[in-house]
Chain A
């Protein structure tokens, strides 16, 4: 548990969660993942409150993988709050959803999402995408410096 959290996975569906973790595992990324099962939990984690009030804003995940259809607080709302607050605005967010509805895409990009991915039906493709995603955000991309979270 000492390894810093690199991926925050926000996913409510247990099957999807299992499959996503499986795909990440295949690329040796699963042990750096923290899972939030709904929007509220995700917000608590990111804003360091509730059971996460020990966390600091200076150590956010390198990327948030966000589903849109979530219980309590939905994904778009999580995204909006995240991108509105100067302390969390710099955290990269990737929306991962079943939908390719224009409405969702427009809203996500308007709120400032960093990437929008439609989960493919084909599992092979999905695994591939998860590998690329992890590789890109954790290895290729330069994460925002600490000064960006103030």
Chain B
């Protein structure tokens, strides 16, 4: 019922209720006691009055002296509470009454009981009158009860006044006390609210006392301390992490810039090589030939041979430059992935190689190859280099066999180019894909040792691999496999 009432009001209410109930109980008992004692006093008073009057009236009654009796009664004037009084003779007839204005018939008949009787606003009693130990008549006295009422009313007024004062005092006191109790609680609640709303762990609840609320406040502040420390530690580590991140980003950026600049240099370098390195070669070749033409008439066979050597060297160097440029271009190439029919690439390569192959006895076996996702130009380069190798190293065969197909190798599809050429010693196969690595003498088979390196680079660009197996004088097989080759491409 009081659950949602603020704690301040609860405390005030409790204190007020306690104070008021004590006050009401006290007042009621006080009133009861006061009224009772006043009543008793009134009765006692009446009794004393009756006793004294009865003692004085003994003689008058003994002699039926109504004049004397009335004299005695008239002395009751001194007592203003007396309303009326009467003296009865032994035969219960009124001898005298007071005051004279009241008629005799308004007096009650004699009763034997001496106990006081309470009437409406009055109290009355009968008292026996004796003379020399002998009963001579009866006295009747009636007094006013209004002093009792007056006193009662006074009591009520006093009680109300006290209550009002007490309530005010209790209220003020309870306000003060309530503040003593509720203030720290409210402050604690306020602090908790600020903490939870603003996530400000720097605020502290103020608590000075050593009571339970003080302890609670201390515990709360301690908890806030811990949270604040953790929060700060967290922030710090976050900041450190951010710093680290930024540093890392900067470093990546720096590296990227360095890389870009290196790349640019490399590009400028290859551009320059492409333009400037070939020009002098052309000149050497041209003048060698011109010299040969000049000396055409000369019979010096040796001179012609030398000129031929010069020109062969020039040709070789030119090829080397071309291959190197090619390799560097492949390394920096942007791979454009698109669906490519591999058989079409093979056909193109074969037709381009016609000049070298048409005078040879080569038996081609070309299987159906799939359409795959790859860079068309680069993949064509792979076929060109591998097929050119196969053609070159089968040169001494009476009948060259070259087989191009696809097969499953260790669960993944691989395209292969197989020949029955001279082969190589498999001990050196690790050198096979390195730049300028050759496994044959230049006078046996010409070449720069760049072709397979290019194949490997292209495979790297396609997330692929290339490998070979060979046996001297039996032949060589090259396999390559890359991401775009679908496992379903191998049909059995």
Contact = CB atoms under 8 A, between A and B. Distances in A.
A139 B325 CA distance: 36
Interface string A111-128: 000000001111110100
A121 B274 contact: no
B407 interface: no
Interface in A1-60: 13, 15-16, 19, 22
Interface string B321-356: 010010001000000000000000000000000000
B271 A103 contact: yes
Contact of B315 (A99, A121, A126): A121
Nearest to A122: B285
A90 to B, nearest CB: 29
Q: Which of B278, B311, B325 has the most CB of A within 10 A?
A: B278
Contact of A123 (B270, B278, B282, B329): B282
Contacts of B116: none
A15 B283 CA distance: 7
B282 A119 contact: yes
A98 B278 contact: yes
Contacts of A124: 289
Q: Which of A68, A121, A124, A126 has the most CB of B within 10 A?
A: A121
Interface string B189-218: 000000000000000000000000000000
A98 B315 contact: no
Interface size bracket, A side: 20 to 34
B314 interface: yes
Q: Which of B270, B275, B281, B315 has the most CB of A within 10 A?
A: B275
A102 interface: yes
B259 interface: no
B278 A68 contact: no
A16 B314 CA distance: 16
Contacts of A142: none
Contacts of A19: 282-283, 286
B133 interface: no
B315 A122 contact: yes
Interface string A57-99: 0000000000011000000000000000000000000000111
B279 interface: yes
Contacts of B19: none
A100 interface: yes
A22 B311 CA distance: 19
A96 to B, nearest CB: 11
A101 interface: yes
Contact of B282 (A69, A102, A121): A121
Nearest to B278: A98
A124 B276 CA distance: 20
B318 A97 contact: no
Interface in B346-381: none
B252 to A, nearest CB: 28
Given A15-B283, A102-B329, A124-B289, A68 B315 contact: no
A120 to B, nearest CB: 8
Nearest to B277: A98
Given A121-B318, A122-B311, A97 B286 contact: no
Nearest to B317: A121
A146 to B, nearest CB: 36
Q: Which of B279, B318, B329 has the most CB of A within 10 A?
A: B279
A102 B325 CA distance: 11
Given A15-B283, A19-B283, A126-B286, A121 B278 contact: yes
B282 A98 contact: yes
Given A122-B285, A126-B282, A69 B311 contact: no
A31 to B, nearest CB: 20
Nearest to B322: A100
Contacts of B325: 100-101
Contacts of A101: 270-271, 274-275, 325
A68 B279 contact: no
A121 B275 contact: no
A66 B292 CA distance: 29
Given A19-B283, A121-B281, A98 B314 contact: no
A121 B329 contact: no
Contacts of A99: 271, 274-275, 278
Contacts of A100: 274, 322, 325
B271 to A, nearest CB: 6
A97 B277 CA distance: 12
Contacts of A13: 279
B381 to A, nearest CB: 13
Nearest to A13: B279
Given A69-B276, A97-B275, A121-B278, 13 more contacts: A16-B279, A16-B282, A19-B282, A22-B286, A99-B275, A99-B278, A100-B274, A100-B325, A101-B275, A101-B325, A119-B282, A123-B286, A126-B282
Interface of A: 13, 15-16, 19, 22, 68-69, 97-103, 119-124, 126
30 contacts: A13-B279, A15-B283, A16-B279, A16-B283, A19-B282, A22-B286, A22-B290, A68-B275, A69-B276, A98-B276, A98-B278, A98-B282, A99-B271, A99-B278, A100-B274, A101-B325, A119-B278, A121-B278, A121-B281, A121-B285, A121-B314, A121-B315, A121-B318, A122-B285, A122-B314, A122-B315, A122-B318, A123-B289, A123-B290, A126-B286
